[in-house]
Amino acid sequence: MSIISVNHLCRDVMRDTALRKRLQDDPSGELAKYPRNLTEAERAALLAGDVGMLSRMGANAFLMGYLGRYKVFGLDPVSYGERMHATLGTSA
């Protein structure tokens, strides 16, 4: 697994406003051009906004929070929290 690439992507979303905008406008197209190696499973989970799956795969929950904060992959802070709580089996 290249889960470190997911962590790098989350970090890049925080730092790079142009990348953030491209991911908001065309997530699939932008991921196809992303220079780090993402597995097909990671790519599918990102496109689905499935932070629970990414968490189970080992992605850093703190870094993934930027996906919700900056509203990429169909996430926002509320949906990010709900999906993470569902993964952990806790209530929001």
pLDDT tens-digit profile of 23-80?
999 999 999 999 888 999 999 999 999 999 999 999 999 999 999 999 999 999 999 9
Can you give the pLDDT at residue 84? 92
Can you give the pLDDT at residue 86? 84
Can you give the pLDDT at residue 72? 97
Neighbours of 10 (CB within 10 A): 24
- Residue keyed to tokens 């999906």: 83
Domain 3-88, CATH 1.10.700 — does that match? yes
Whether the per-residue pLDDT at 88 is higher than 80: the answer is no
Q: Which of 63, 66, 41 is nearest to 53 (CA)?
A: 41
The model carries a pTM of 0.90
Can you give the pLDDT at residue 85? 87
